[in-house]
Structure 1
């Protein structure tokens, strides 16, 4: 009898994994909020894995997975929101570039564009340099 219950749980887990895999693969990359939708679908994978772990008798591992999976999904969604979700996060839409004026390696975009326009006006065709290559042939 226990084998039948385990078999039913494993078949249920397999069906959930197949359904969520189809849903995960059908999303276009251009879909709005696709990252959050994919994380939501991954929750179905998590439930299927928990069911499968219970079916094979790994109750402690299923409990740990049941507790940790939402935290991990939230951490991924939060990291995406804070750093990359320009479409929804208003704080990222109006980001001003903070450039340290004392750092010789980083310059603001406006400063680089101003320097390039100054240089292009100052340089004439005969003052520009060119790079040539030298072809070396080795005797065989």
Structure 2
């Protein structure tokens, strides 16, 4: 009976791996946030490997993999975000060199600093005004 359960678990794991492999191969290379899409697909590989390890009786290894795999995926995504993801990371969108003014994601650093200083002037607090609250009685 245990052999049948192990066989079923290995077949399910193989099915998940085939689905993930097809998804990884067919993902469009021009997709926005391609790295994140690939990490998401690889998560299916992780689940398949955990199921396969349980099917093979490697419970401790499956538990360790279950705990470590999300941390590793997060570390990869975070490293990409911090160093290369100019499309989504606001800190990386500013550049020193000349760029096209019409580019939707990359802006000259001087332009960004001018916008920030303009916004900070609008947010200055006027000392002459104060905020008060008015209590309203529901019975009135």
- Give the TM-score band, short-chain normalised: 0.5 to 0.7
Q: 1:4: Cα distance to partner?
A: 0.3
Pairing 1:93–2:100 present? no
Match of 2:55 in 1: 55
Match of 1:26 in 2: 26
Other structure's SS at 1:52 match: helix
TM-score between both structures, scaled by the size of structure 2: 0.67
Q: 1:28: Cα distance to partner?
A: 1.8
Aligned length: 97
Other structure's SS at 2:17 match: helix
1:1-140 mapped onto 2 (5 Å cutoff) = 1-96=1-96
What is the alpha-carbon distance in structure 1 between the residues aligned to residue 9 and residue 24 of structure 2?
22
TM-score between both structures, scaled by the size of structure 1: 0.67
Q: 1:96: Cα distance to partner?
A: 3.8
What is the alpha-carbon distance in structure 1 between the residues aligned to residue 92 and residue 38 of structure 2?
22
Q: What are the superposed Cα offsets for residues 4-51 of structure 1, whole Å, 9 maximum, x if unpaired?
A: 000000000000000010001001221101110110010000000000
The list of structure 1 runs, each at least 4 consecutive aligned residues, that deviate by more than 6 angstroms after superposition, is none
What is the alpha-carbon distance in structure 1 between the residues aligned to residue 40 and residue 67 of structure 2?
16
Match of 2:137 in 1: none
Q: 1:95: Cα distance to partner?
A: 3.5
Other structure's SS at 1:88 match: coil
Q: CA RMSD in A?
A: 1.0
